[in-house]
Structure 1
């Protein structure tokens, strides 16, 4: 009957023309709670998508009907679509990162690729559903060596208007993502300016974060267009003024794979803060051996003395501090090529080598569109041959990393420069830190030598925007783990101590030290003067010196953007727990530490004292037991920091779930009791002084290795 269905219903013949009925296709997350659906609508034959959350037989909308489409110069892929086909696959892989909230990650999702044609030209839309969100991307799958141009997107995110937003105004010229996030702006209000990714939202039932991932050198960095209180956020291309003359469209041959449009989704805000969705969506590492990538703490003199990089004596003194404080790295910032007063940069490199201090060097990204003409060294990073020669030169000198600044653009030509720098730096085993830069796009997975980037209004704002920054900094700190730091490492440059630099700050000194744990950055630069850190209590000094910058696990224990954050991170068997208070009132936090393996720990802690500059340090032994709780008081704009270091030999172990099964070797003076599965990729050893009890539930899966012996702590 040629696209007609015939039904016999209650004695009546009913004809339904399929050409007037929408077609739809869906894919769900591995836990079947999140579902994204795409529809081919009639009569315009346009594409929409929507996202639902299904739990206990109840379906709640997360993203309402939103537009899909791409504007290519030779064709508008916005309507007149015809369906061509669909493929599905499951993704389940494990991989390692060099930095981030969690180094060992699982990428687990269901994927659906739906193919369409417009005027005989193909467009694929790929959808992925994860347990913590969804993503989609556009692909032109045909093959052609000709150049094609994308001038925009039809992509929208249709949110309910009963929610709130934490979003940052987009800087339309020289975007560097260094403005405050709004603090819960109602979604029924107009936001006339454009907004930057990432954008955080709270609706009546869900937390959402919008961003993009897996951006390659064949596209530009996107943001969100102006908002008019109707729930519609639209993807926008770079502004024409951005980039000083570069075009604001993208070009490529075919096939052409564009970035993921990412929607993190959770019923609790901790889902957003803990998510690794940007990394999971990004291209796997292009560096086979990442063992040379060694993130860590770094001293940094520029904030405390802006002229120090040009002053050999001042820099030498800071290298002495770096060595005394047992930090692995020191960053020599801008204008180091103009160093005088007793020596030059070569002399500093030689001196640092005698102190076993590894150096990072600053560079201006340079190039004809870069207007920061007076900040040197510049024009060494935008031409491949010159850049590679410089990387070879400094590698031979023992330099370990480069901080490259002043990109100021999201256009395709600059995106290509970022990626070329990362590729070339990897060839010379150099780590990279981007400043004056774009937000993370998943490059930390693809190019793991990128250990951090700025794209944040950080501690340097105390120097240049102090009157505005000072009263807003405490709230700003509590928003960042849910926004900017949720998508990748963030070089905020924390830990201002006292006011010796002459910089007044409302946060307590404990709040500042707690930022080491509240924020995540593979390379963390300590911002303040040497004297500030050397004047701290001995326990505080030791805690800072030994603080990790990469993590095996991250948990948001408690928090709300704009008020407070309590963060827990694990490195090996040790836990680091921090709290910061964004409000000018005291706040007591009840800590439930049931996720920490039972046992004996050495505990170090820092708490607020009577004044914002007082620190109350403590060091003791403690025993963590099931449902262990403690109360922590934070003073106004205050905080706390706790380090729990597990003792090497415990009296006993009870290993019964994933929270207690975190090691490969267990030693106990008395007994070990286990009821867990040893998975196929594990090699586990139990060593007890008196008994090893393998009870119901214990199993060694094929491929797994398990051994047990008696000896315990005596060996």
Structure 2
């Protein structure tokens, strides 16, 4: 994907309207004037609120840092006129659609807080709001943050996740009172209030500790579980592009609030990537290619040396682009050859059948820069196309900078990158598109017999509106082995729908290759895309109950439907079609490990009525 700056205009005016000058309240509206953010220093407390028209989205909530043990949200005064500007640009992405539009009004509000000069920087989009702080000069230590989200009184339901070091906790949809209180919970957190869907998270985390949330009543507060006592502020690196600065100033990440009138609006929002820097000047990412990947670890464990050609051959038969050689290759042995030579031979064979290789590594192999560079050079030299980095330490400020360094070095070597056992993404796949997917999700590794793990059905129909709003997720989709589906009884159609609903520009299909080769859906596995030209969340979708996506690639539409734990009937209007077309329809079969396939001609006037078994699903190609 070549980075092309289609249009970029950032206009900073020397001063805003004179009314900003001495006022202790600043209001910034979205380009369409439907959403507004008000920042206030009334009563010497730094606060904000968000409204959609006259509807409260976030009620008055605290802002501010705690730095060098001082409360920089208290004893606050807005000290001058806000510098305002507009963001108006477009850029290519690999995701729900091919082009992201970045249009917002921005203001930098100068404040004095506890005797320190700093700024609150805000952006207001048509679909959300973002807030960040400049870090005052001379600050040596970040103790924490006061930023919070005071939720409106009428929360219909809220989607959230258990605390987990690598975001592999269960996800739930509950009422607000059922959300864990007084302990860390993981974002993004999404709630429905009246006519709006709202999701809160963060963007552009470069050298700040990862943020989770802590609930107290109807308030969600920023919390840093991996740095409970804070961290040292380090000067910006001169060699790392993502060095924690914005317009030359040391800053915090953006604190984000996505706002939409539908789940479709949330899923199609580019707010998180919009808030991140473009790639370094002169970058060319045309070599970054999405695709499908074979993967053996889930089904058989460590890869066996004498078995590798079969996996490459199977990927070739499925017309898949990649094969991931996972943990265990380091133990390969053959007289006169070390594991690196044997790995190269496997990669070389893959090339003969048109399949590229991704190689697994434990992050402990290169936590420090010299070792990392040497290891990545070695991976590149043996012909791998990408690397999967696993077992990454807690997401402290130092480790977040390690992520940024690794993204940059992999980009320099033209290596695709998949962080596993990792922190959630924060939009920096815009900056380095080679960071093509990452785990940070409770995926199918939590539904497997050898570890006695069973996934509840609600989780599958919740993550599209929690973790996946942060960015692509390596869920390792599509289990077909009947033995593995004997507990929750997810259906084959449900499993295939994961590959359509869960965005991952490289999808690592989870099961043993023979199940795909022998599948009644084999032809569809050969064709299913991993990135899209258009995405629609269909009207029957309900967080935590059922999820239905229609996605278009070129002139072909794919529909994926996943059901939760209760039998239901859904209707799928085909109004997205432009002309009558032949449709391949895959319904749940008589058992969860069978399908009922049909072909019929459909048009935009048709409405499909689908009966879904518990944990069932539906797939269509048309």
Contact 1:200 1:208 in 2 (8 A): yes
**2:85 is the alignment partner of 1:93:** no
**2:604 is the alignment partner of 1:643:** no
**2:478 is the alignment partner of 1:495:** yes
Paired position in structure 2 for 1:441:
426
Paired position in structure 1 for 2:346:
348
Paired position in structure 2 for 1:333:
326
**2:223 is the alignment partner of 1:222:** no
Relative to structure 1, the CA distance from residue 391 to residue 318 in structure 2 (aligned partners, 3 Å threshold; closer, same or farther) is same
Secondary structure of the residue aligned to 1:320 is helix
TM-score w.r.t. length of structure 1: 0.77
**2:583 is the alignment partner of 1:593:** no
Contact 2:64 2:147 in 1 (8 A): yes
**2:150 is the alignment partner of 1:158:** yes
Relative to structure 1, the CA distance from residue 28 to residue 476 in structure 2 (aligned partners, 3 Å threshold; closer, same or farther) is same
Alpha-carbon deviation of 1:268? 2.4
Measured in 1, the distance between the counterparts of 2:318 and 2:211 equals 42
**2:28 is the alignment partner of 1:38:** no
Q: Aligned match of 1:122 in 117, 120, 132? A: 117
Relative to structure 1, the CA distance from residue 315 to residue 77 in structure 2 (aligned partners, 3 Å threshold; closer, same or farther) is same
Alpha-carbon deviation of 1:119? 5.6
Moved over 4 A (4+): 464-468, 500-505
Measured in 2, the distance between the counterparts of 1:324 and 1:261 equals 45
Secondary structure of the residue aligned to 1:460 is helix
Contact 2:101 2:270 in 1 (8 A): no
Secondary structure of the residue aligned to 1:49 is strand
Paired position in structure 2 for 1:388:
373
Alpha-carbon deviation of 1:288? 1.8
Relative to structure 1, the CA distance from residue 502 to residue 121 in structure 2 (aligned partners, 3 Å threshold; closer, same or farther) is closer
Alpha-carbon deviation of 1:502? 8.0
Contact 1:553 1:571 in 2 (8 A): yes
Alpha-carbon deviation of 1:250? 4.4
Paired position in structure 1 for 2:284:
289
Paired position in structure 1 for 2:12:
none
TM-score w.r.t. length of structure 2: 0.89
The size of the alignment, in residue pairs, is: 581
Alpha-carbon deviation of 1:299? 0.3
Alpha-carbon deviation of 1:237? 2.1
Paired position in structure 1 for 2:384:
399
Measured in 1, the distance between the counterparts of 2:473 and 2:598 equals 29
Measured in 1, the distance between the counterparts of 2:478 and 2:485 equals 15
Contact 2:548 2:560 in 1 (8 A): yes
Alpha-carbon deviation of 1:139? 1.3
Alpha-carbon deviation of 1:165? 2.3
**2:532 is the alignment partner of 1:551:** yes
Q: Aligned match of 1:258 in 252, 258, 265? A: 252
Relative to structure 1, the CA distance from residue 306 to residue 440 in structure 2 (aligned partners, 3 Å threshold; closer, same or farther) is same
Contact 1:301 1:315 in 2 (8 A): no
**2:612 is the alignment partner of 1:630:** no
**2:613 is the alignment partner of 1:618:** no
Contact 1:501 1:528 in 2 (8 A): no
Bigger shift: 260-269 or 561-570? 260-269
Secondary structure of the residue aligned to 1:444 is coil
Measured in 1, the distance between the counterparts of 2:276 and 2:256 equals 11
Alpha-carbon deviation of 1:554? 1.3
Query: What RMSD, in angstroms, separates the aligned Cα atoms of the two structures?
Result: 2.3
Measured in 2, the distance between the counterparts of 1:51 and 1:502 equals 45
Relative to structure 1, the CA distance from residue 170 to residue 332 in structure 2 (aligned partners, 3 Å threshold; closer, same or farther) is same
Q: Aligned match of 1:67 in 55, 59, 62? A: 62
Relative to structure 1, the CA distance from residue 364 to residue 189 in structure 2 (aligned partners, 3 Å threshold; closer, same or farther) is closer
Relative to structure 1, the CA distance from residue 240 to residue 486 in structure 2 (aligned partners, 3 Å threshold; closer, same or farther) is closer
**2:182 is the alignment partner of 1:197:** no
**2:108 is the alignment partner of 1:113:** yes
Secondary structure of the residue aligned to 1:82 is strand
Paired position in structure 1 for 2:46:
47
Paired position in structure 2 for 1:211:
201
Unaligned runs of at least 5 residues, structure 1: 1-17, 242-246, 367-378, 645-715
Of Structure 1 and Structure 2, the greater strand share is in 1
Could you report, residue by residue, the CA deviation over 1:256-306 in whole angstroms, capped at 9, with x for unpaired residues? 121000011123233222222111111112372111000110000111101
Measured in 1, the distance between the counterparts of 2:26 and 2:576 equals 39
Measured in 2, the distance between the counterparts of 1:78 and 1:556 equals 39
Q: How does 1:157-556 map to 2 (within 5 A)?
A: 157-163=149-155, 164-171=157-164, 175-187=165-177, 191-217=181-207, 219-225=208-214, 227-228=215-216, 230-240=217-227, 248-253=230-235, 255-286=249-280, 288-307=283-302, 309=303, 311-340=304-333, 344-366=342-364, 379=365, 381-463=366-448, 469-470=454-455, 472=456, 474-500=457-483, 504-537=487-520, 540-556=521-537
Could you report, residue by residue, the CA deviation over 1:297-340 in whole angstroms, capped at 9, with x for unpaired residues? 00001111013x2x212223212211222211000001211124
Contact 2:290 2:505 in 1 (8 A): yes
Secondary structure of the residue aligned to 2:429 is helix
Contact 2:159 2:465 in 1 (8 A): no
Bigger shift: 629-638 or 453-462? 629-638
Alpha-carbon deviation of 1:206? 2.6
Structure with larger RCO (C-alpha < 8 A, sep 6+): 2
Alpha-carbon deviation of 1:240? 4.6
Contact 2:461 2:562 in 1 (8 A): yes
Q: Aligned match of 1:570 in 537, 544, 552? A: 552
Alpha-carbon deviation of 1:617? 2.0
Contact 2:560 2:620 in 1 (8 A): yes
Could you report, residue by residue, the CA deviation over 1:380-427 in whole angstroms, capped at 9, with x for unpaired residues? x22222222222222232210100011131101111111111100011
Alpha-carbon deviation of 1:248? 3.7
Measured in 2, the distance between the counterparts of 1:555 and 1:289 equals 30
Contact 2:160 2:179 in 1 (8 A): no
Secondary structure of the residue aligned to 1:105 is strand
